[in-house]
Each structure stands twice: as C-alpha cells, then as structure tokens.
C-alpha cells in the first residue's frame, strides 16, 4: 500500500527561527550563577566576553544579557534542557548558596526557575512533544489583555506572514509559530500586566521586505538597524491601529551574517571529579 504522509506538518511560516531573548541584568556575577552555573548553559566564548554584556548559548539559541537595570519578560520563557535530575541538583545548590535569592519549583512535567530579578524560566525536558529539541529556547508565553488574542494573531498572519491562530486551550491565546518547534503564545489574562520595560526578542524571517513594507506603511518601524535588520515594538489592531501589546522584535533577514552561526554548548555534567575525556561538548 502507498504510504501517506501529512505533508502540511512540515510547513514553516515566514518566521524561520526565534534566536534570542534579550533582558538586561544589573549584576553579571549573579547572572553567571543563574544562567551558566545553575541552568547549565554556556557563555558564548567568542562574542560579548566582558562585563558589559554576556551572551549565553542554549542549543541554537541565546539569552542576551547586557548590564543595566533589570528587565523582566511579561510572561514565561520556555526552554528545553537535557537532564531534569542534574538541573534540580544545580538549582538546589544555588538556592542554598545564594540564600534563596533564586527560586525554583518542581512540577510533574517541568521545573520553574526564577532568575534573581524575576524572569520565569520554565524548564522542559527532551520528549516527543518537544519536537526532538534537547536544548533550546522553545517558546515565550506572554500575558496580554483580555480581547487582544484575535488581533495579535491577525497581526502576525498579515504583517509577519506566519500562520498564527487563536485557541481556547487553557484560556484564550494567540499561537504564533516562530521556527522549527518554536512558538510565541499571547495568553489573555484579567490580571494586571506590568509596564513594558524594553526587553526584546529576535527572529529570522524569509520574506524580509514584505513585513517591512507593511510595518513602514503603518508607522511601526522603530529602528532601521542596518541592511539585514530592522525593529518594531507594537503589535496593533490592523483595523483601528490601536496597540494591543508591546514587545520589541529585532527582525533579521536570513542573509544576516549571524544566521545559523554555530554556537558552542558544553556538557554541564562534566566536572574535575567525574571527568570523562571526550564528553565536554
């Protein structure tokens, strides 16, 4: 019998990859303890190696952590890391050493770790529903005002040309695919939403000029960075122009010199006491 496949499962929207999330941090020492030593991630050894900024690799993705007043994503940052037991051990050690400035909580399917300045990192583990991801930035889940999910999904469909949809699964939210196995959720909440503090996300798009023309026409381009990159901040209602939510997007073309840049990822289980030759990466 002829084999049948659902070919549409393989389709990608215009956003090919969500690469980094950028939050400023006031103390690189604490940031190192949390992101590198405790989450088990790897400082980029090539770029931003000083005290004014740190880039932290997580699979093919990065956290960007410039030094400045703390910024906090209005929602949850979903990551995948390889080993739950080892992660919890490192978080426990850190929790004791820093007198509880960090926090974490274990759940059935994930572990929530809170950075010293309040960013919530939801750590998931490799399993089939994580699409084969063993280490990486999987999603951002933003909390947005009631009644904005439809408009946000429309904005991503029409302006960014990515197949966003609206779902009522565990509350109404816009679901926006932003790469292979990666997505943004914009989940409606009646709770108060903190003021936007300037943190940003970065995505690579295949059609670079199409969204640019739309954004420019609506007066939404906030930065003309260079030939390969522009930025916008506001997600708006396409009929009224009213802002629905603000999150700066650093939009890069796939011709950007950093697209698909190889990133070094260490094996955090290696230690001088249990060292195994050949298992550093």
Q: Which residues bind Fe ion (CB under 5 A)?
A: 22, 202, 250
Taking Cα atoms as reference points, which of 177, 248, 255 lies closest to residue 215? 248
Decide if 51 contacts 94 (C-beta within 8 A): no
Nearer to Fe ion, 221 or 238 (CB): 221
Supply φ then ψ for residue 111, to 5 degrees: -125, 130
Report in angstroms how near the CB of residue 22 gets to Fe ion at its nearest: 4
Nearer to Fe ion, 142 or 204 (CB): 204
Report in angstroms how near the CB of residue 41 gets to Fe ion at its nearest: 17
Nearer to Fe ion, 234 or 250 (CB): 250
Structure tokens at 170: 């565990």
Report in angstroms how near the CB of residue 62 gets to Fe ion at its nearest: 9
Report in angstroms how near the CB of residue 199 gets to Fe ion at its nearest: 10
Nearer to Fe ion, 110 or 204 (CB): 204
DSSP-based three-state secondary structure for 29 = helix
Nearer to Fe ion, 22 or 71 (CB): 22
- Please state, in angstroms and as integers, the Cα–Cα distance from residue 37 to each residue in 26, 147, 174, 200, 227, following that order: 17, 40, 34, 24, 36
Report in angstroms how near the CB of residue 200 gets to Fe ion at its nearest: 6
Would you put residue 216 in left (φ > 0), alpha (ψ -120 to 50) or beta?
alpha
Report in angstroms how near the CB of residue 28 gets to Fe ion at its nearest: 17
Nearer to Fe ion, 23 or 164 (CB): 23
Report in angstroms how near the CB of residue 174 gets to Fe ion at its nearest: 22
CB atoms within 10 A of CB 116: 17
Nearer to Fe ion, 22 or 162 (CB): 22
Separation of alpha carbons 152 and 149, rounded Å: 5
Separation of alpha carbons 268 and 246, rounded Å: 35
Report in angstroms how near the CB of residue 36 gets to Fe ion at its nearest: 19
Taking the alpha carbons at both ends of the chain, their separation in whole angstroms is 44
Would you put residue 147 in left (φ > 0), alpha (ψ -120 to 50) or beta?
left
Taking Cα atoms as reference points, which of 160, 155, 137 lies closest to residue 59? 137
Structure tokens at 56: 């932290």
Nearer to Fe ion, 223 or 280 (CB): 223
């Amino acid at each position: 019998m002829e084999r049948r496949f659902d070919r549409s499962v393989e389709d990608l929207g215009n956003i090919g990859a969500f690469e980094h999330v950028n939050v400023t941090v006031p103390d690189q020492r604490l940031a190192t303890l949390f992101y590198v030593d405790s989450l088990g991630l790897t400082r980029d050894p090539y770029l931003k190696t000083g005290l004014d900024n740190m880039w932290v690799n997580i699979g093919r993705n990065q956290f960007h952590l410039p030094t400045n007043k703390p910024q906090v994503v209005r929602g949850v940052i979903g990551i995948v890391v390889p080993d739950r037991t080892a992660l919890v051990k490192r978080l426990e050690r850190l929790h004791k050493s820093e007198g509880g400035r960090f926090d974490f909580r274990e759940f059935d399917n994930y572990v929530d770790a809170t950075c010293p300045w309040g960013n919530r990192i939801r750590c998931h583990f490799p399993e089939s529903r994580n699409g084969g991801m063993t280490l990486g930035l999987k999603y951002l889940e933003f909390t947005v005002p009631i009644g904005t999910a439809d408009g946000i999904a429309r904005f991503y469909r029409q302006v960014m040309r990515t197949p966003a949809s609206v779902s009522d699964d565990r509350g109404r939210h816009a679901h926006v695919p932003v790469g292979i196995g990666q997505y943004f959720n914009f989940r409606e909440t009646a709770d108060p939403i903190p003021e936007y503090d300037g943190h940003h996300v970065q995505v690579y798009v295949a059609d670079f000029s199409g969204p640019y023309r739309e954004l420019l026409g609506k007066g939404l381009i906030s930065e003309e960075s260079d030939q390969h990159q522009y930025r916008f901040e506001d997600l708006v209602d396409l009929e009224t122009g009213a802002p629905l939510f603000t999150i700066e997007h650093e939009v890069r073309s796939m011709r950007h010199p950093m697209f698909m840049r190889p990133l070094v990822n260490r094996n955090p289980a290696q230690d001088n006491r249990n060292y195994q030759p050949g298992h550093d990466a």
